[in-house]
Structure 1
Amino acid sequence: MGTDVRTIGILGAGRLGTALARLALAAGHRVLVAGSGEPAAIAPTVDLLAPGAVPVTAAEAAAAADVVILALPLGRYRDLPVEALRGRLVVDAMNHWWETDGVREEFADPRRSTSELVQAFLPDARVVKAFNHVGYRDLEGGARPAGAADRTAIALAGDRPEDRSVVARLVRSLGFDPVVAGTLVDGVRLQPGTEPFGAYVGAGELRAMLDRFPRTELGRAVSRVRAAAPTASGDAA
Protein backbone atom coordinates (compact mmCIF):
# COMPACT_ATOMS: atom_id res chain seq x y z
CA MET A 1 0.00 0.00 0.00
CA GLY A 2 1.22 3.49 -0.77
CA THR A 3 1.43 6.25 1.78
CA ASP A 4 -1.32 8.38 0.20
CA VAL A 5 -4.78 7.93 1.71
CA ARG A 6 -7.35 8.63 -0.97
CA THR A 7 -10.10 6.17 -0.10
CA ILE A 8 -11.25 5.51 3.46
CA GLY A 9 -13.40 2.53 4.36
CA ILE A 10 -15.46 2.83 7.54
CA LEU A 11 -16.92 -0.29 9.10
CA GLY A 12 -19.82 1.01 11.15
CA ALA A 13 -22.64 3.36 10.18
CA GLY A 14 -23.44 4.61 13.67
CA ARG A 15 -22.72 7.99 15.21
CA LEU A 16 -18.93 7.64 15.22
CA GLY A 17 -18.77 6.10 11.76
CA THR A 18 -20.92 8.77 10.14
CA ALA A 19 -19.10 11.59 11.97
CA LEU A 20 -15.77 10.28 10.67
CA ALA A 21 -17.30 9.92 7.22
CA ARG A 22 -18.37 13.58 7.21
CA LEU A 23 -14.91 14.69 8.31
CA ALA A 24 -13.23 12.56 5.66
CA LEU A 25 -15.53 13.83 2.93
CA ALA A 26 -14.87 17.42 3.98
CA ALA A 27 -11.13 16.69 3.72
CA GLY A 28 -11.56 15.47 0.15
CA HIS A 29 -11.36 11.74 0.69
CA ARG A 30 -13.50 9.14 -1.05
CA VAL A 31 -15.48 7.39 1.67
CA LEU A 32 -17.00 3.91 1.72
CA VAL A 33 -19.27 2.97 4.63
CA ALA A 34 -20.28 -0.58 5.57
CA GLY A 35 -22.76 -1.86 8.11
CA SER A 36 -23.32 -5.38 9.36
CA GLY A 37 -25.47 -6.43 6.40
CA GLU A 38 -26.29 -5.41 2.86
CA PRO A 39 -25.53 -1.86 1.69
CA ALA A 40 -29.21 -1.19 1.03
CA ALA A 41 -29.91 -1.49 4.74
CA ILE A 42 -27.67 1.47 5.61
CA ALA A 43 -28.15 3.51 2.43
CA PRO A 44 -30.84 5.80 3.92
CA THR A 45 -28.67 6.50 6.98
CA VAL A 46 -25.58 7.17 4.88
CA ASP A 47 -27.50 9.41 2.47
CA LEU A 48 -28.93 11.41 5.40
CA LEU A 49 -25.92 11.63 7.72
CA ALA A 50 -22.96 11.39 5.35
CA PRO A 51 -24.12 12.48 1.91
CA GLY A 52 -21.44 11.68 -0.62
CA ALA A 53 -20.26 8.52 1.12
CA VAL A 54 -20.93 5.23 -0.66
CA PRO A 55 -22.66 2.37 1.18
CA VAL A 56 -20.89 -0.94 0.46
CA THR A 57 -20.29 -4.33 2.04
CA ALA A 58 -17.51 -4.74 4.59
CA ALA A 59 -15.52 -6.82 2.11
CA GLU A 60 -15.87 -4.15 -0.57
CA ALA A 61 -14.73 -1.43 1.84
CA ALA A 62 -11.69 -3.47 2.83
CA ALA A 63 -10.76 -4.24 -0.77
CA ALA A 64 -11.02 -0.69 -2.09
CA ALA A 65 -9.82 1.44 0.83
CA ASP A 66 -6.31 2.66 1.56
CA VAL A 67 -7.23 2.73 5.26
CA VAL A 68 -10.08 0.93 7.00
CA ILE A 69 -11.51 2.45 10.19
CA LEU A 70 -13.30 0.19 12.68
CA ALA A 71 -16.15 2.26 14.13
CA LEU A 72 -18.11 -0.59 15.70
CA PRO A 73 -18.85 -1.60 19.28
CA LEU A 74 -15.80 -3.54 20.45
CA GLY A 75 -18.02 -6.47 21.36
CA ARG A 76 -18.53 -7.13 17.64
CA TYR A 77 -14.84 -7.42 16.75
CA ARG A 78 -15.16 -11.14 16.03
CA ASP A 79 -17.60 -10.28 13.23
CA LEU A 80 -14.87 -8.46 11.31
CA PRO A 81 -14.03 -9.88 7.85
CA VAL A 82 -10.65 -11.39 8.62
CA GLU A 83 -9.76 -12.44 5.08
CA ALA A 84 -10.91 -9.18 3.52
CA LEU A 85 -8.73 -7.22 5.97
CA ARG A 86 -5.62 -9.29 5.28
CA GLY A 87 -2.72 -6.93 4.55
CA ARG A 88 -4.81 -3.81 5.16
CA LEU A 89 -4.00 -0.85 7.39
CA VAL A 90 -6.77 -0.91 9.99
CA VAL A 91 -7.53 1.93 12.41
CA ASP A 92 -9.15 0.65 15.61
CA ALA A 93 -11.53 3.31 16.92
CA MET A 94 -13.50 0.84 19.04
CA ASN A 95 -14.16 0.98 22.77
CA HIS A 96 -15.66 -1.40 25.30
CA TRP A 97 -19.05 -0.15 26.47
CA TRP A 98 -20.43 -2.56 29.03
CA GLU A 99 -23.94 -1.27 28.36
CA THR A 100 -23.61 -2.52 24.75
CA ASP A 101 -21.08 -5.33 25.00
CA GLY A 102 -21.86 -6.65 28.45
CA VAL A 103 -19.15 -7.30 31.02
CA ARG A 104 -16.40 -9.06 29.07
CA GLU A 105 -13.27 -10.22 30.91
CA GLU A 106 -11.24 -10.27 27.70
CA PHE A 107 -11.66 -6.50 27.41
CA ALA A 108 -10.59 -5.87 31.00
CA ASP A 109 -7.43 -8.01 30.90
CA PRO A 110 -4.65 -5.60 31.97
CA ARG A 111 -2.01 -7.78 30.31
CA ARG A 112 -2.96 -6.39 26.91
CA SER A 113 -4.71 -3.43 25.34
CA THR A 114 -7.95 -4.03 23.49
CA SER A 115 -6.20 -3.13 20.24
CA GLU A 116 -3.76 -5.98 20.85
CA LEU A 117 -6.82 -8.20 21.09
CA VAL A 118 -8.05 -6.89 17.73
CA GLN A 119 -4.60 -7.36 16.20
CA ALA A 120 -4.54 -10.97 17.38
CA PHE A 121 -7.91 -11.58 15.74
CA LEU A 122 -6.65 -9.90 12.53
CA PRO A 123 -3.13 -11.37 12.43
CA ASP A 124 -2.45 -10.34 8.84
CA ALA A 125 -3.79 -6.79 9.14
CA ARG A 126 -1.76 -3.84 10.46
CA VAL A 127 -3.69 -2.34 13.36
CA VAL A 128 -3.25 1.21 14.65
CA LYS A 129 -5.38 2.55 17.49
CA ALA A 130 -6.79 6.06 16.92
CA PHE A 131 -9.97 8.17 17.06
CA ASN A 132 -11.34 6.26 20.06
CA HIS A 133 -10.65 8.66 22.92
CA VAL A 134 -12.54 11.75 21.66
CA GLY A 135 -16.33 11.69 21.46
CA TYR A 136 -17.98 11.81 18.06
CA ARG A 137 -19.50 15.25 18.76
CA ASP A 138 -16.10 16.65 19.73
CA LEU A 139 -14.51 15.06 16.67
CA GLU A 140 -16.84 16.77 14.26
CA GLY A 141 -16.87 20.07 16.10
CA GLY A 142 -13.14 20.06 16.76
CA ALA A 143 -11.65 19.93 13.27
CA ARG A 144 -9.46 22.97 12.65
CA PRO A 145 -7.00 24.08 9.93
CA ALA A 146 -3.34 23.26 10.35
CA GLY A 147 -1.64 25.70 12.71
CA ALA A 148 -4.83 26.80 14.47
CA ALA A 149 -4.16 27.64 18.10
CA ASP A 150 -7.21 25.69 19.30
CA ARG A 151 -6.54 22.52 17.30
CA THR A 152 -7.50 19.34 19.17
CA ALA A 153 -5.06 16.43 19.37
CA ILE A 154 -5.75 12.79 18.54
CA ALA A 155 -3.50 10.09 20.00
CA LEU A 156 -2.53 6.98 18.09
CA ALA A 157 -0.69 3.78 18.90
CA GLY A 158 0.72 1.17 16.54
CA ASP A 159 3.59 -1.27 16.23
CA ARG A 160 4.99 -0.16 12.84
CA PRO A 161 6.45 3.34 12.44
CA GLU A 162 5.40 3.51 8.80
CA ASP A 163 1.79 2.73 9.69
CA ARG A 164 1.79 5.27 12.51
CA SER A 165 3.08 7.82 9.99
CA VAL A 166 0.24 7.12 7.54
CA VAL A 167 -2.39 7.38 10.28
CA ALA A 168 -0.79 10.58 11.60
CA ARG A 169 -1.18 12.11 8.14
CA LEU A 170 -4.80 11.00 8.09
CA VAL A 171 -5.38 12.62 11.50
CA ARG A 172 -3.91 15.86 10.17
CA SER A 173 -6.02 15.76 7.03
CA LEU A 174 -9.19 15.47 9.11
CA GLY A 175 -8.27 18.58 11.09
CA PHE A 176 -6.40 17.39 14.20
CA ASP A 177 -2.87 17.20 15.57
CA PRO A 178 -1.55 13.62 15.92
CA VAL A 179 0.25 12.51 19.07
CA VAL A 180 1.99 9.13 19.03
CA ALA A 181 1.33 7.22 22.26
CA GLY A 182 3.63 4.31 21.36
CA THR A 183 2.98 0.75 20.24
CA LEU A 184 -0.26 -1.23 20.56
CA VAL A 185 0.74 -2.15 24.11
CA ASP A 186 0.51 1.56 24.91
CA GLY A 187 -3.00 1.69 23.46
CA VAL A 188 -4.19 0.96 27.01
CA ARG A 189 -3.38 4.62 27.75
CA LEU A 190 -6.29 5.66 25.49
CA GLN A 191 -8.95 3.29 26.79
CA PRO A 192 -11.96 4.14 28.97
CA GLY A 193 -10.90 4.98 32.50
CA THR A 194 -7.71 6.81 31.49
CA GLU A 195 -7.07 10.54 31.66
CA PRO A 196 -6.97 11.06 27.86
CA PHE A 197 -10.28 9.24 27.35
CA GLY A 198 -12.90 11.90 26.69
CA ALA A 199 -10.30 14.68 26.85
CA TYR A 200 -10.66 17.48 24.33
CA VAL A 201 -7.23 19.07 24.51
CA GLY A 202 -4.25 20.17 22.45
CA ALA A 203 -1.13 18.19 21.64
CA GLY A 204 0.97 19.38 24.59
CA GLU A 205 -1.67 18.58 27.20
CA LEU A 206 -2.46 15.22 25.60
CA ARG A 207 1.22 14.27 25.61
CA ALA A 208 1.42 15.18 29.30
CA MET A 209 -1.60 12.97 30.04
CA LEU A 210 -0.04 10.03 28.22
CA ASP A 211 3.25 10.52 30.07
CA ARG A 212 1.44 10.59 33.42
CA PHE A 213 -0.28 7.24 32.85
CA PRO A 214 2.38 5.06 34.55
CA ARG A 215 1.93 7.11 37.73
CA THR A 216 -1.86 6.79 37.81
CA GLU A 217 -3.65 4.12 39.82
CA LEU A 218 -4.62 2.28 36.64
CA GLY A 219 -1.13 2.65 35.20
CA ARG A 220 0.48 1.17 38.31
CA ALA A 221 -2.01 -1.71 38.29
CA VAL A 222 -1.29 -2.46 34.64
CA SER A 223 2.47 -2.39 35.28
CA ARG A 224 2.18 -4.77 38.23
CA VAL A 225 0.09 -7.31 36.35
CA ARG A 226 2.19 -7.18 33.20
CA ALA A 227 5.39 -7.60 35.17
CA ALA A 228 4.00 -10.66 36.98
CA ALA A 229 2.42 -12.52 34.05
CA PRO A 230 3.07 -13.13 30.34
CA THR A 231 0.86 -11.47 27.76
CA ALA A 232 -2.36 -13.22 26.82
CA SER A 233 -2.32 -11.91 23.25
CA GLY A 234 -1.56 -15.31 21.83
CA ASP A 235 -4.80 -16.66 23.31
CA ALA A 236 -7.03 -14.11 21.62
CA ALA A 237 -7.49 -15.56 18.14
Structure 2
Amino acid sequence: MMHIGILGTGHIGKSLVKKLSAAGHKVKVANSRSPESIDADTLSTGAQAADVDTALAGADVVILSIPLARLSALADKIAALPKDTVIIDTSNYYPGRDGTIAEIEAGMVESLWVVEQIGRTVVKAWNAIGSDSLARKGKVKGDPDRIAIPVAADSDADRAIGMALVDDTGFDGFDAGTLATSWRQQPGAPGYCTDLKADEMGPALESAEKSRLPARRDLSVAVIMERVGNSKTNPDAEFGVRVSRAIFR
Protein backbone atom coordinates (compact mmCIF):
# COMPACT_ATOMS: atom_id res chain seq x y z
CA MET A 1 0.00 0.00 0.00
CA MET A 2 1.28 3.41 -0.98
CA HIS A 3 0.16 6.95 -0.19
CA ILE A 4 -0.65 8.52 -3.55
CA GLY A 5 -1.54 12.12 -4.32
CA ILE A 6 -3.25 12.68 -7.67
CA LEU A 7 -3.58 16.15 -9.15
CA GLY A 8 -6.26 16.35 -11.81
CA THR A 9 -9.75 14.93 -12.22
CA GLY A 10 -10.05 14.78 -16.00
CA HIS A 11 -10.83 11.47 -17.67
CA ILE A 12 -7.39 9.95 -17.02
CA GLY A 13 -7.06 11.35 -13.50
CA LYS A 14 -10.51 10.17 -12.48
CA SER A 15 -9.84 6.62 -13.65
CA LEU A 16 -6.50 6.55 -11.82
CA VAL A 17 -8.16 7.74 -8.62
CA LYS A 18 -10.78 5.02 -8.79
CA LYS A 19 -8.50 2.19 -9.85
CA LEU A 20 -5.61 2.88 -7.48
CA SER A 21 -7.83 3.36 -4.44
CA ALA A 22 -9.71 0.18 -5.36
CA ALA A 23 -6.34 -1.60 -5.45
CA GLY A 24 -5.79 -0.71 -1.80
CA HIS A 25 -3.68 2.44 -2.02
CA LYS A 26 -4.41 5.49 0.11
CA VAL A 27 -5.32 8.08 -2.48
CA LYS A 28 -5.91 11.80 -2.07
CA VAL A 29 -7.07 13.76 -5.09
CA ALA A 30 -7.14 17.46 -5.86
CA ASN A 31 -8.22 19.56 -8.80
CA SER A 32 -7.84 23.22 -9.76
CA ARG A 33 -11.16 24.19 -8.15
CA SER A 34 -11.94 22.79 -4.70
CA PRO A 35 -12.37 19.46 -2.88
CA GLU A 36 -16.13 20.06 -2.88
CA SER A 37 -16.17 20.08 -6.69
CA ILE A 38 -14.89 16.49 -6.93
CA ASP A 39 -17.86 14.27 -7.68
CA ALA A 40 -18.93 11.28 -5.61
CA ASP A 41 -18.24 8.80 -8.41
CA THR A 42 -14.56 9.76 -8.46
CA LEU A 43 -14.39 8.99 -4.73
CA SER A 44 -16.52 5.86 -4.89
CA THR A 45 -13.68 3.39 -4.27
CA GLY A 46 -12.31 5.12 -1.19
CA ALA A 47 -10.22 8.10 -2.31
CA GLN A 48 -10.28 11.34 -0.33
CA ALA A 49 -10.94 14.74 -1.89
CA ALA A 50 -8.35 17.32 -0.88
CA ASP A 51 -6.77 20.61 -1.79
CA VAL A 52 -3.43 20.49 -3.60
CA ASP A 53 -1.26 20.91 -0.51
CA THR A 54 -3.11 18.16 1.36
CA ALA A 55 -2.94 15.79 -1.61
CA LEU A 56 0.82 16.27 -1.82
CA ALA A 57 1.54 16.04 1.91
CA GLY A 58 2.97 12.67 2.93
CA ALA A 59 2.62 11.16 -0.55
CA ASP A 60 5.00 8.37 -1.60
CA VAL A 61 3.91 8.95 -5.20
CA VAL A 62 2.48 12.05 -6.84
CA ILE A 63 0.65 11.64 -10.14
CA LEU A 64 0.31 14.74 -12.32
CA SER A 65 -2.70 14.32 -14.58
CA ILE A 66 -3.17 17.83 -15.91
CA PRO A 67 -2.47 19.43 -19.29
CA LEU A 68 1.23 19.68 -20.05
CA ALA A 69 1.22 23.47 -20.38
CA ARG A 70 -0.07 23.88 -16.81
CA LEU A 71 2.61 21.80 -15.12
CA SER A 72 5.05 24.67 -14.59
CA ALA A 73 2.55 26.31 -12.21
CA LEU A 74 3.21 23.45 -9.79
CA ALA A 75 6.99 23.79 -9.81
CA ASP A 76 7.29 25.38 -6.37
CA LYS A 77 5.05 22.80 -4.72
CA ILE A 78 6.82 19.91 -6.45
CA ALA A 79 10.23 21.30 -5.45
CA ALA A 80 9.16 21.24 -1.80
CA LEU A 81 8.43 17.50 -1.84
CA PRO A 82 10.92 15.07 -0.28
CA LYS A 83 13.59 13.91 -2.71
CA ASP A 84 12.37 10.31 -2.57
CA THR A 85 8.83 11.19 -3.67
CA VAL A 86 8.16 9.57 -7.03
CA ILE A 87 6.59 11.95 -9.56
CA ILE A 88 4.55 10.38 -12.36
CA ASP A 89 3.44 12.48 -15.33
CA THR A 90 0.60 11.44 -17.64
CA SER A 91 0.62 14.47 -19.95
CA ASN A 92 1.05 14.82 -23.71
CA TYR A 93 1.75 17.80 -25.95
CA TYR A 94 -1.13 18.93 -28.16
CA PRO A 95 -0.46 22.38 -29.65
CA GLY A 96 -4.14 23.09 -30.18
CA ARG A 97 -4.72 22.80 -26.46
CA ASP A 98 -1.34 23.71 -24.96
CA GLY A 99 -0.24 26.44 -27.34
CA THR A 100 3.00 26.26 -29.28
CA ILE A 101 5.98 25.23 -27.16
CA ALA A 102 9.09 26.14 -29.13
CA GLU A 103 11.43 23.64 -27.48
CA ILE A 104 9.14 20.70 -28.18
CA GLU A 105 8.49 21.92 -31.72
CA ALA A 106 12.28 21.93 -32.19
CA GLY A 107 12.47 18.27 -31.18
CA MET A 108 12.84 18.26 -27.40
CA VAL A 109 11.40 15.15 -25.81
CA GLU A 110 8.17 16.06 -24.03
CA SER A 111 9.18 14.33 -20.78
CA LEU A 112 12.49 16.20 -20.67
CA TRP A 113 10.67 19.49 -21.19
CA VAL A 114 8.45 18.62 -18.22
CA VAL A 115 11.52 17.89 -16.09
CA GLU A 116 12.86 21.35 -16.93
CA GLN A 117 9.56 22.98 -15.99
CA ILE A 118 9.08 21.35 -12.60
CA GLY A 119 12.71 20.84 -11.61
CA ARG A 120 12.27 17.15 -10.80
CA THR A 121 12.69 13.98 -12.76
CA VAL A 122 9.52 12.08 -13.59
CA VAL A 123 8.15 8.71 -14.53
CA LYS A 124 6.19 8.85 -17.78
CA ALA A 125 3.16 6.54 -17.56
CA TRP A 126 -0.51 6.30 -18.57
CA ASN A 127 0.09 8.90 -21.30
CA ALA A 128 -0.09 6.34 -24.11
CA ILE A 129 -3.57 4.94 -23.46
CA GLY A 130 -6.88 6.55 -24.28
CA SER A 131 -9.20 7.53 -21.46
CA ASP A 132 -11.93 5.10 -22.53
CA SER A 133 -9.50 2.18 -22.72
CA LEU A 134 -8.07 3.06 -19.31
CA ALA A 135 -11.53 3.25 -17.79
CA ARG A 136 -12.94 -0.01 -19.09
CA LYS A 137 -10.29 -2.34 -20.52
CA GLY A 138 -8.27 -3.28 -17.45
CA LYS A 139 -7.86 -7.03 -16.92
CA VAL A 140 -6.42 -9.31 -14.27
CA LYS A 141 -2.72 -10.09 -14.44
CA GLY A 142 -2.04 -12.99 -16.78
CA ASP A 143 -5.05 -12.44 -19.03
CA PRO A 144 -3.83 -13.04 -22.60
CA ASP A 145 -5.69 -9.95 -23.83
CA ARG A 146 -4.24 -7.58 -21.26
CA ILE A 147 -3.13 -4.25 -22.77
CA ALA A 148 0.39 -2.96 -22.13
CA ILE A 149 1.25 0.61 -21.14
CA PRO A 150 4.82 1.90 -21.66
CA VAL A 151 6.58 3.33 -18.60
CA ALA A 152 9.76 5.41 -18.92
CA ALA A 153 12.03 6.85 -16.22
CA ASP A 154 15.70 7.57 -15.64
CA SER A 155 15.63 5.81 -12.26
CA ASP A 156 15.25 2.03 -12.39
CA ALA A 157 13.60 2.08 -8.97
CA ASP A 158 11.12 4.78 -9.96
CA ARG A 159 10.33 2.99 -13.21
CA ALA A 160 9.64 -0.22 -11.26
CA ILE A 161 7.19 1.65 -9.03
CA GLY A 162 5.46 3.10 -12.08
CA MET A 163 5.17 -0.32 -13.68
CA ALA A 164 3.77 -1.82 -10.48
CA LEU A 165 1.13 0.90 -10.26
CA VAL A 166 0.22 0.40 -13.91
CA ASP A 167 -0.26 -3.27 -13.07
CA ASP A 168 -2.58 -2.24 -10.22
CA THR A 169 -4.77 -0.39 -12.71
CA GLY A 170 -5.29 -3.53 -14.79
CA PHE A 171 -2.58 -3.24 -17.44
CA ASP A 172 0.90 -4.61 -18.07
CA GLY A 173 3.56 -2.04 -17.27
CA PHE A 174 6.07 -2.20 -20.12
CA ASP A 175 9.66 -1.09 -19.46
CA ALA A 176 10.19 1.67 -22.03
CA GLY A 177 13.64 2.72 -20.83
CA THR A 178 14.79 6.24 -20.02
CA LEU A 179 13.17 9.62 -20.54
CA ALA A 180 15.50 10.36 -23.44
CA THR A 181 13.74 7.68 -25.46
CA SER A 182 10.23 8.36 -24.12
CA TRP A 183 9.45 10.14 -27.39
CA ARG A 184 8.64 6.62 -28.57
CA GLN A 185 5.43 6.79 -26.51
CA GLN A 186 4.45 10.32 -27.53
CA PRO A 187 1.38 11.10 -29.67
CA GLY A 188 1.84 9.87 -33.22
CA ALA A 189 3.96 6.85 -32.26
CA PRO A 190 2.91 3.26 -33.04
CA GLY A 191 2.53 2.43 -29.35
CA TYR A 192 0.39 5.47 -28.57
CA CYS A 193 -3.30 4.75 -27.92
CA THR A 194 -3.25 1.61 -30.07
CA ASP A 195 -4.11 -0.81 -27.23
CA LEU A 196 -1.25 -3.25 -27.84
CA LYS A 197 -0.37 -6.27 -25.74
CA ALA A 198 3.04 -6.69 -24.11
CA ASP A 199 4.49 -8.80 -26.92
CA GLU A 200 3.43 -6.13 -29.44
CA MET A 201 4.56 -3.07 -27.48
CA GLY A 202 8.33 -3.63 -27.79
CA PRO A 203 8.34 -3.80 -31.59
CA ALA A 204 5.97 -0.84 -31.74
CA LEU A 205 8.26 1.33 -29.63
CA GLU A 206 11.28 0.30 -31.68
CA SER A 207 9.56 1.12 -34.96
CA ALA A 208 8.72 4.70 -33.98
CA GLU A 209 10.18 7.41 -36.25
CA LYS A 210 10.60 10.64 -34.32
CA SER A 211 10.45 12.99 -37.30
CA ARG A 212 7.03 11.64 -38.32
CA LEU A 213 5.28 11.94 -34.94
CA PRO A 214 4.02 15.56 -35.14
CA ALA A 215 2.40 15.14 -38.54
CA ARG A 216 0.76 11.88 -37.51
CA ARG A 217 -0.44 13.42 -34.23
CA ASP A 218 -1.99 16.38 -36.01
CA LEU A 219 -3.59 14.19 -38.66
CA SER A 220 -5.25 12.02 -36.03
CA VAL A 221 -6.61 15.12 -34.26
CA ALA A 222 -8.03 16.43 -37.54
CA VAL A 223 -9.70 13.11 -38.34
CA ILE A 224 -11.23 12.79 -34.87
CA MET A 225 -12.40 16.40 -34.73
CA GLU A 226 -14.01 16.15 -38.18
CA ARG A 227 -15.93 13.08 -37.07
CA VAL A 228 -16.88 14.43 -33.64
CA GLY A 229 -18.01 17.68 -35.21
CA ASN A 230 -20.56 15.84 -37.31
CA SER A 231 -23.39 15.25 -34.86
CA LYS A 232 -25.05 12.75 -37.21
CA THR A 233 -22.09 10.38 -37.11
CA ASN A 234 -20.67 10.64 -33.60
CA PRO A 235 -18.04 7.90 -33.23
CA ASP A 236 -18.26 4.92 -30.93
CA ALA A 237 -15.79 4.42 -28.08
CA GLU A 238 -13.37 2.42 -30.27
CA PHE A 239 -13.09 5.06 -32.98
CA GLY A 240 -9.99 6.68 -31.48
CA VAL A 241 -8.18 3.36 -31.25
CA ARG A 242 -9.00 2.55 -34.87
CA VAL A 243 -7.75 5.96 -36.01
CA SER A 244 -4.54 5.60 -34.02
CA ARG A 245 -3.87 2.14 -35.41
CA ALA A 246 -4.51 3.28 -38.97
CA ILE A 247 -2.30 6.39 -38.78
CA PHE A 248 0.43 5.58 -36.29
CA ARG A 249 1.38 1.96 -37.09
TM-score grouping bracket, smaller chain normalisation: 0.7 to 0.9
Residues 25-36 of structure 1: matches in 2 within 5 Å? Answer: 25-36=21-32
Question: Which residue identity does 1:218 align to in structure 2?
Answer: R
Cα deviation code 1:59-97 (max 9, x no counterpart):
222222211111101110111123344522111100122
1:46-57 equivalence runs, <5 A = 47-51=40-44, 52-57=46-51
1:22 corresponds to 2:15: no
Report which structure shows greater RCO (CA 8 Å, sep ≥6). Answer: 1
The question of 1:99 aligning with 2:96 is answered yes
- Whole-Å Cα distance in 2 between the matches of residues 190 and 166 of structure 1? 18
Structure 1 stretches lacking a partner, 5+ long = 220-237
Stretch moving more, 129-138 or 101-110: 101-110
Normalised by the length of structure 2, the TM-score is 0.78
Mapped to 1, the partners of 2:81 and 2:69 lie a distance apart of 18
Contact 2:72/2:118, CA 8 A, preserved across alignment: no
Is residue 2:62 matched to residue 1:68?
yes
Q: Which residue of 1 aligns with 2:79?
A: 83
| Correspondence 1:130-141 to 2 at 5 A | 130-141=125-136
Query: What is the aligned partner in structure 2 of residue 59 from structure 1?
Result: 53
Instruction: State the match for 1:175 in structure 2.
Output: 170
- TM-score w.r.t. length of structure 1: 0.81
Among 153, 158, 162, the alignment partner of 2:153 is 158
Conserved in 2, the CA contact under 8 Å of 1:69 and 1:93? yes
Task: Provide, for residues 196-225 of structure 1, a one-character-per-residue CA deviation record: whole Å limited to 9, x for no partner.
Answer: 1111010111111011125x6538xxxxxx
Distance of 2:34 and 2:150 partners within structure 1: 32
Aligned 1:111-130 pairs, distance under 5 A: 112-123=108-119, 125-130=120-125
1:186 is paired with a residue whose SS is helix
AA partner of residue 41 (structure 2):
L
Q: 2:171, 2:148 → 1: CA distance?
A: 5
Cα distance in structure 2, aligned partners of 1:59 and 1:106: 30
| 1:193 equivalent among 177, 180, 188 | 188
| RMSD over aligned Cα atoms | 1.8
Whether contact under 8 Å (1:133, 1:190) holds in the other structure is yes
Deviation at 1:126, TM superposition (A): 3.6
- AA at the equivalent of 1:159: D
Q: Which ranges of 4 or more aligned residues in structure 1 deviate by more than 6 Å?
A: none
Report what 1:6 is aligned to. Answer: 2
Q: Distance in 2 between matches of 1:164 and 1:16?
A: 19
